[in-house]
Structure 1
Amino acid sequence: MTNLIQKTAPLALVAVLAAGPMAMLAPSVALAVPAGGYGDLVEAVSPSVVYIEVIAKARPAGAQGALPEGMPDALRKRFGEQMPKGNGPAPTGLGSGFIISADGKIVTNAHVVDGAESVKVKLSDGRSFDAVVVGSDPSTDIAVLKIDAGVDLPAINFGASQAMRAGDEVMAVGNPFGLGGTVTSGIISATSRNINSGPFDDFIQTDAAINRGNSGGPLFNNAGEVIGVNTAIISPGGGSVGIGFAVPSDLVKNIVADLSDDGSVTRGWLGVSIRPMSAEVAQVLGYDAPKGAVVEAVSTDSPAAKAGLQKGDIILSFGSTPIDELRDLTRAVAQTTPEQSAEVTLLRKGADVTLDVTIGTLAPKGA
């Protein structure tokens, strides 16, 4: 494997991942490179970007460094071999984040604060504060912190990631390799990118330089709005090769709101095991390409079982969402409020069938 997908935290926490509202501006204005460069934009947003230092919990003798829960086994083994062993001091990690409320609420990556004994947040003016982890969601790699500065802090706003296109200019501000206040710029290389890091992959890909320590930092559009949270890189050697990934702001906003409420994320649950449609089946059914999600198993007493879903059903839509690939169904179900009813359209033995299903609550990992 020549290319590695890594979180962008330093070695102690290395893991798998590494102006006005834009809607009010004409696309040619909002997406053009700012006249004279990015200096004015950097001055406007930099006070809201923070630098995060984490002291991880001490490792027992012989133990490997902490790796986030839910990491695929193959990658856990690969990165586990690179982590420092026990009998040493607790590891230290650096990351980035950004202020989203005047009272000190901060967004960063979950992997930045995973296993943290203590978290410190340093502002761009040099002030430093102890931070509390309000909540963390490893499935999307988003966490919310809170500091008490005693005064209102400069907050930045989220923009609409759905409005961004491949080729649009973006700018990142963060703390790569501990070098705080670092600015890089580039374009969006692709949208809705799946890097197989989790069930909700929908990354913005960018060629703006993203490195270890940029984790949790903001990716801005040219209106100074956050349209992504920098999270991962593909790199054979740990440095930027121009392929970085950011969690889109439209997803982040929902996760942050949920975490801020009670420290956890509530997701819908359907209760099926699914697999992709094969090319052979697609050809038999007369489809140009495979689509939908084939039900392999239905959990006993699950919402799917109660609604009448069966093994072999091919789910073609869930609510208003067409299911072209598996992650379409995963995301649509997860984003549905538990106890809410949804209409499921499926293909069963060559016939279209529509069922109403009342979504359940997905149990937290380890529950």
Structure 2
Amino acid sequence: MWAWVFGVGLWGGNHPLSAADRSPVEAEVQSKVVKLYGAGGLAGLQGYGTGFIVSPDGHIATIWSHLLDADAVAVVLSNGRRLMGRVVAAEPKLDLALLKIDATGLEHFDLTRSAAGGPGTRVFAFSNMFKVAAGDEPVSMQHGIISARTKLAARRGRFASNYSGPVYVVDAITNNPGAAGGILTDRRGQLLGMLGRELRDAQSQVWVNYVVPAGEITPTLQAMMRGEYTREKVVDPLANAREIPPRTFGLILVPDIVYRTPAYIDEIVPGSVAATAKLQPDDLIVFLNGKVVGSVRTLQAELNLLQPGEDAEFVIRRGSELITVQFPVPLSLDEKQ
């Protein structure tokens, strides 16, 4: 349930609070939270998000998402200062990314002093949900309690969450558009964890307001900041799978001649599912199954993750129009589409 929501102004009951009445904890935490602006703006994907500063030298933790597919991510500090950030490391299995901006002497969360919570712990959540702040305005602040600590089993549509470890479930509606990468603190302003994505419980399909505990991401963040982090090698069950070329769906793309060649359609194979869907040369593929397609290479990488029998949903840009088409992945790549 909603308790207090703090956006451009602070509210206590039905009366706005003056700046002098604001909690010292709120003021201290606000200086450590940043607004992020990057890729997005199409097909319901927001081009904004939240992060939090984890070193005085400009390291920023946030959720790993489509927002970071841009060449650079705009970072707005609490005082309104706008800087460009770059991704220095990411761990999709933790839904975690680390950005770096050129700044020093920043107020930040000391990861060695993060806290732990449990059911009944009273908490604050900070995020730029719904893009309530764009400059030096404070981000939203919510008040609630931790309802449970459990393992995450959630989905977005038919796609399971990357992260499946321990989470705090909170009683405030924290996981809103733009909130992912925000923070949960205790009443003293100590870091408890990072706000997660907009996901539904895998069984009940109810939206889950969850937070990844600081203890789950701190060792990885510390290794990333030291430049020592290497992702754990895992056995990829698709490593030996056959490549799924765009031609499987009747799509012939423009030649991949530069590093980030946009995924424009060059030709349509007559009689294919793409022809039946009336796709055309010069159409641009911008999303595949909700993932941003930044180039011909990223499209091929995403196609290779598809499983036989599942659906491939393409979002196509034609001029100013967005067109969504869905094709089944053939059970055999020899099967004509």
Please tell me the TM-score bracket, short chain as reference.
0.5 to 0.7
Instruction: Pick the aligned partner of 1:198 from 159, 162, 166.
Output: 162
Aligned to 2:7: none
Q: Contact 1:106–1:145 (CA<8 Å) still a contact in 2? A: yes
Aligned to 1:174: 127
Aligned to 1:73: none
Q: Which runs of 5+ in 1 are unaligned?
A: 1-36, 59-64, 66-82, 85-90, 274-364
Aligned to 1:250: 215
Q: Which amino acid aligns with 1:216?
A: G
| CA separation of 1:130 and 1:44: change in aligned 2, threshold 3 A | same
What's the CA shift for 1:264?
4.9
Aligned to 1:185: 143
Aligned to 1:324: none
1:48 maps onto 2:27 in alignment: no
Whole-Å Cα distance in 2 between the matches of residues 272 and 109 of structure 1? 23
| CA separation of 1:173 and 1:254: change in aligned 2, threshold 3 A | same
Whole-Å Cα distance in 2 between the matches of residues 47 and 226 of structure 1? 13
What's the CA shift for 1:266?
3.1
| CA separation of 1:112 and 1:246: change in aligned 2, threshold 3 A | farther
1:152 maps onto 2:105 in alignment: yes
Whole-Å Cα distance in 1 between the matches of residues 118 and 22 of structure 2? 20
Whole-Å Cα distance in 2 between the matches of residues 248 and 96 of structure 1? 17
| CA separation of 1:223 and 1:265: change in aligned 2, threshold 3 A | farther
Q: Which amino acid aligns with 2:166?
A: D
1:305-357: CA deviation from partner (whole Å, max 9, x where unpaired):
xxxxxxxxxxxxxxxxxxxxxxxxxxxxxxxxxxxxxxxxxxxxxxxxxxxxx
Q: Contact 1:106–1:146 (CA<8 Å) still a contact in 2? A: yes
| CA separation of 1:129 and 1:219: change in aligned 2, threshold 3 A | same
1:187-233: CA deviation from partner (whole Å, max 9, x where unpaired):
11111332242364211111223111111011111221111100134
Q: Contact 2:38–2:69 (CA<8 Å) still a contact in 1? A: no
1:118 maps onto 2:102 in alignment: no
Give the structure-1-normalised TM-score. 0.49
Whole-Å Cα distance in 2 between the matches of residues 38 and 264 of structure 1? 39
Structure having greater relative contact order (Cα 8 Å, sep ≥ 6): 1
What's the CA shift for 1:160?
4.7
Instruction: Pick the aligned partner of 1:99 from 39, 50, 53.
Output: 53
Q: Contact 2:91–2:231 (CA<8 Å) still a contact in 1? A: no
Instruction: Pick the aligned partner of 1:266 from 231, 235, 238.
Output: 231
1:278-313: CA deviation from partner (whole Å, max 9, x where unpaired):
xxxxxxxxxxxxxxxxxxxxxxxxxxxxxxxxxxxx
Aligned partner of residue 36 in structure 2, secondary structure: strand
Normalized per residue, which structure has more helix?
Answer: 1
Q: Contact 2:125–2:184 (CA<8 Å) still a contact in 1? A: yes
| CA separation of 1:40 and 1:112: change in aligned 2, threshold 3 A | farther
Q: Which runs of 5+ in 2 are unaligned?
A: 1-20, 134-138, 155-160, 238-301, 305-337
Q: Which amino acid aligns with 2:144?
A: G
Q: Contact 1:207–1:242 (CA<8 Å) still a contact in 2? A: no
What's the CA shift for 1:136?
1.2
Whole-Å Cα distance in 2 between the matches of residues 152 and 206 of structure 1? 33
Task: Note the 1:338-357 alignment, pairs <5 A.
Answer: none
Aligned partner of residue 110 in structure 2, secondary structure: coil
Whole-Å Cα distance in 2 between the matches of residues 92 and 189 of structure 1? 28
What's the CA shift for 1:39?
1.8
Instruction: Pick the aligned partner of 2:197 from 215, 219, 232.
Output: 232
Q: Which amino acid aligns with 2:182?
A: G
1:39 maps onto 2:23 in alignment: yes
| CA separation of 1:231 and 1:38: change in aligned 2, threshold 3 A | farther
Q: Which amino acid aligns with 2:221?
A: V
| CA separation of 1:234 and 1:198: change in aligned 2, threshold 3 A | closer
Q: Contact 1:102–1:152 (CA<8 Å) still a contact in 2? A: yes
Task: Note the 1:129-144 alignment, pairs <5 A.
Answer: 129-144=83-98
Aligned partner of residue 177 in structure 2, secondary structure: coil
Instruction: Pick the aligned partner of 2:186 from 199, 218, 221.
Output: 221
Whole-Å Cα distance in 2 between the matches of residues 235 and 266 of structure 1? 27
Q: Contact 2:51–2:62 (CA<8 Å) still a contact in 1? A: yes
